[in-house]
Amino acid sequence: MTNQAAIENINRRRMHGLYLSRRCDGLETLAHELLGLHSWFYRNVPFSAAIRGADIWGWKTALTKTWLYRGTLHGVLPEDLPELLAISAGEQKDGYYSWLTSIYGADMLQDIADEVIRLMEDGVYSRAEFRQIFAERYDPEVIGHIFSPWGGIFVYLAQLGKVAFRDMASRDFDLISAEPSQSFADVLPGLLRRYFTAYGPATWADAAWFFGISKEDAKKLPDCPLDDLSNFEVDRKTYFFSDADTADIPELTLLSGFDPIIASYIPENRLILPQEVKSKVVLKSGICLPTIAVNGQVAGIWNVKKKEPVIEFFSTQPKRIKSAALERVESIIWETSSNQVG
């Protein structure tokens, strides 16, 4: 098999597993099978679901928005959260909380975390309220770190399963009860199987990247029993996948910002994203733009500005492709606006 044929085979199977060449039954099914939907920008969730044919009615409250793997925000089914959080089990080895601990110490941060929980029990839910209350006891630099717009202390509490955003579009928080009841070792085999089933063909390195697993823990992955999965080798890398039916790669595919088929693999395994256009899609800030794929390769970007569709191709495309892309974006605008997506 040539490299090009291998890439097409991998992309065809990935597009099928990630519901890009077939329709999904619903938002909850999508969030469960894809192990959460990336929601750094909350509208990426309804965009991603609508692109895949899922009904997005009630999307703001159907899922829980919280920090998961790699410190990124995801929309997940509430009942899936304890298992997904067990991957990190509240640990912040290399994250923002670890950085805060190195500056202020674990005792001080735990005292602040406990006080945040007590205040939430008394009805305080917004970051602005917390900043105002804590400003009486701490200097502005501490407040800026603890209640950072990037999450601060709430990332730590979220990964303990104690706090999540009030809904998918809210900036306020609510207390939840989703503390992991299983260990990393308990949940790893099942979550790996689910990852390779939806995201495969993928490698061990892809799985470690997706879950944010440390190099030390990544060495344990090959010991997980995955005998029910198929695999093949390309360029000395083994790809695991579920041997299910597939469909042809669509001629035209819309992808959401931070779409799973781009954001869920190590950079060299983002086979749908040609190297020559990568900088136009994944910005220096880390933001991944909504894109348009033609025959399984990203060929342009799209957006919604002032409720109007905007498309831009990186190279000349046939008129039918440009017209079809515009129609798809218009359809997404109609569907999401009727479901109150900002």
**Domain segments of the chain as ranges:** 96-159, 252-337
Cα 254 from Cα 50, distance rounded (Å): 10
Identify the residue with better confidence: 294 or 109: 294
pLDDT in tens, 254-298: 999 999 999 999 999 999 999 999 999 999 988 999 999 999 999
Report pLDDT for 150: 85
Burial 213-242 (b: 16+ CB within 10 A, else e): beeebeeebeeeeeeebeeeebeeeebbbb
User: Which phi and psi angles does 160 have, rounded to 5°?
Assistant: -90, -5
pLDDT over 80 (residue 193): yes
Are 145 and 152 spatial neighbours (Cβ–Cβ below 8 Å)? yes
Is a pLDDT exceeding 60 seen at residue 94? Answer: no
pLDDT tops 80 at residue 15? yes
**249/96 Cα distance (integer angstroms):** 39
Instruction: Output the pLDDT for position 69.
Output: 86
Quick check: 70 pLDDT over 90? Answer: no
Tell me how far the alpha carbon of residue 72 is from its chain's centroid. 7
pTM of the model: 0.92
Percent of the chain beyond pLDDT 90?
75
Give the residue with greater pLDDT, 181 vs 34. 34
